[in-house]
Structure 1
Amino acid sequence: MDAPRAIDLTANEQSARAYEPQNLQSALEGLHQDGLLVLKNVVDVAHVDKLREAMSAETKTILNERAGLFNQGVNSNILQCPPVANGDCLFDDVYFNPYVIQIANAYLGSKPIWSFTTGNNALTGTAGMRQPVHKDITFHHPTAPFYFIANIVLSDFCEANGATEFWLGSHAHTTSADQIPCTEETKVRKQVVGIDPSCNVKSEVVEQRRKIRPPIQAGCRKGDIMIRDLRTWHAGMPNTSDQDRIMVAIGYQAPWYQNNTQRLFLPLKHANFFARHGGQPVEVRANYLADDELGQLWKNYDFTFEPSVPVDRRVMAKL
């Protein structure tokens, strides 16, 4: 059965907090070939449980207070900020995981940029609700690796609780031309109607890809991290279980990629933790908020990975 590559830690790698060349090569092959990778047992499960406890407690408040919050317009999935203001939930193996950052340096380029974080919650009891096949990209993107998302799973993921659907290899074999052009109803920010893409992939392209390599739902366990090339097609799936399915997302940008505006929003009171970046070779690109500004942490949901330099959209649309 088709599945993303999974990388198991050796005893030496656990001690060194870094992959040896053979496993690093395997990880890079998996990302280049599939656009998805699973790192096994790289986060302390006690840290995972602490994050889940904090985020689960917040879910009901979010549903009561935030309008129009559903991800991709489907009432089964919400974006939810990780508990970055809670000092008891700040862990290096979550926010500065050495294995993830080692792969980011190899896949994206030396000293990648952490510029994005959010959480994703597939709500319990949402049988029959799924997202359309899409990319988290609403612009004409590069066809080389330029950004990836590391998802820290806060429970075991399986089909029953809405493990994400992934279209392996789609990152390397399709372009933004395969996405549905944006309309007045779907455009975001400064998109040009009919020229820039919406997130969703054209149905005929999806069906063509299905004949080549149909989608899978990638299972994984607490303590694992999934890495997804931003270009990889995916879709949120129904959660038929009796518990929410939550994951934390950490986004890394290639240092050569010209997005100079995307920023994290983090609490000033914990700036020292983030500035130390776990001693890892990564740049943290963030705006820090004082205690009376923490209501603005919602801005972590409002993200764009688009280049901040001007581009000729009409030319890019033809590439």
Structure 2
Amino acid sequence: MKQQRYNQQQIDSFAQAVLNDGYCVLRDHFSTATLNVWREAFAPLLHDHIEREGKLRNRGSARYYVTLPFNAPFADPSIYEDEDVLALVERLVGEDAVMCQLATDTPLLGSDYQDVHRDAPPLFPEAGIETPPFQLAINFPLVDVTLENGPFEVVRGTHMIPKAEGLQRLESGEIKLEPVLLKAGDVMIRDVRGLHRGTPNRTEIPRPMVVIGYSRRWLYRPEVCIHIPRASFDALSERARHLLRFNPIVESLEEKPAVEVYQAFAY
């Protein structure tokens, strides 16, 4: 397992950026050799997904959400047990956090701008207030993200204000969408409530972005989970078993749903 790269002061600084801006970026953090293997293994999964349910277009035209199977190469503890990422997860959503999502978002040529949205509603919408973080998305691309191939755009600081207020301030020009350009190996850690959108991929090469979800232990979102083969679960480290403890254990990955359950995604 890779040793922790950042000291406590640096971890605190990254965590404060997430609290203030809604996200932070760890540059050159994951092995590009590892991500190249992921990219090659992902290509047939994307093809099969498009053949099976591409007509649903639930993420917009030519944009696909694909859950990754919890097996090699994706069930990689060097990624989901990364010491720095977990230090930030614990700092932001608690020492007893759970890992609840392992998936990808991929725009292709022909994709378009998404509506500006959040990935989760506030916990108490009737109160009109926001809370400290309760779910994080750990995003990292399998290719370099450029202005041409569909960068994620985010509005800083909107995770801590009501969505309607954020949209109003965005429309007035007081705040703005900013593209987040990432190299393969960079890692973005974000509060899922920040306003954001996907943008068009104007190239002929898919732009897969991995998302690993970590949340507070009491947060249950039935539309996202990781199906874990029993043999794989038994071989996990004690920490990994704890992180993954609320996910379904299956005898075979053939038992997973035939169609993605996570269809409604924008809040």
SS in 1 for 2:16: helix
Matching residue of 1:66: 53
3-state SS, counterpart of residue 148 of structure 2: helix
The answer for the alignment partner of 1:135 in structure 2 is: 118
- Alignment check: 8 A CA contact 1:47 1:89 kept: no
Distance 1:160 1:88, change over 3 A: same
| 1:79-98: CA deviation from partner (whole Å, max 9, x where unpaired) | 0112423x344321222222
SS of match in other structure, 2:208 = strand
CA distance in 1, matches of 2:266, 2:117: 15
Structure 2: gaps (5+ residues): 125-129
Q: Structure 1 residues 100 and 132 mapped into 2: Cα distance closer, same or farther (>3 Å)?
A: same
1:75 matched to 2:61: yes
The separation in 2 between residues aligned to 1:126 and 1:269, in whole angstroms, is 40
Q: Residue 225 and residue 81 in structure 1: after superposition, are their counterparts in 2 closer, same or farther (change >3 A)?
A: same
- Point out where structure 1 has 5 or more consecutive residues left out of the alignment: 1-13, 180-200, 307-319
Is the 2:11–2:84 Cα contact (8 Å) retained in structure 1? Answer: no
CA distance in 2, matches of 1:150, 1:137: 15
Q: Pick from 145, 165, 177 the counterpart of residue 215 of structure 1.
A: 177
Give the counterpart of 1:231 among 193, 197, 205: 193
How many Å separate the matches in 1 of 2:253 and 2:245?
22
- Displacement of 1:144: 1.8
CA offsets 1:225-258 (integer angstroms, 9 cap, x no match): 1111011111010001221000111111123x44
Q: 1:68 to 1:98 in 2, by over 3 A?
A: farther
CA contact (8 A) 2:2 2:78 kept: no
**Offset, 1:287:** 0.2
- Picking from 78, 81, 106, the partner of 1:96 is 81
Shift of 1:122: 1.2
* Displacement of 1:213: 2.4
**Superposed displacement of residue 217, structure 1:** 0.6
Q: How does 1:158-307 map to 2 (within 5 A)?
A: 158-172=146-160, 174-176=161-163, 178=164, 204-208=168-172, 211-255=173-217, 257-259=218-220, 263-274=225-236, 276-277=238-239, 282=243, 284-291=245-252, 293-296=254-257, 298=259, 301=262
Look up the match of 1:115.
100
TM-score (norm 2): 0.85
Code of the aligned partner of 2:61 = N
* Cα distance, 1:303–1:266 mapped onto 2, change above 3 Å: farther
- Structure 2 CA distance for aligned equivalents of residues 284 and 145 of structure 1: 21
Q: Shift of the alpha carbon at 1:305? A: 12
Give the TM-score of the pair, scaled to structure 1: 0.72
Tell me, in whole angstroms, the C-alpha distance in 2 between the residues paired with 1:158 and 1:169: 23
Kept after mapping to 2: 8 A contact 1:152/1:226: yes
How far the C-alpha of 1:110 sits from its partner, in A, is: 1.5
1:36–1:27 CA distance, 2 compared to 1 (3 A): same
> Rg larger in 1 or in 2?
1
- Displacement, 1:273? 4.4
120 and 151 in structure 1: CA distance in 2 versus 1, 3 angstrom threshold: same
Letter in 1 for 2:22: G
Post-superposition CA distance 1:19-62 (Å, at most 9, x none): 21221121012101110111122211111111111111222221
Query: Do the aligned partners of residues 132 and 168 (structure 1) sit closer, same or farther apart at CA in structure 2, a change above 3 Å counting?
Result: same
**Contact 1:137-1:231 at 8 Å conserved across structures:** yes
Corresponding residue of 1:25: 12
Match of 2:22 among 35, 58, 72: 35
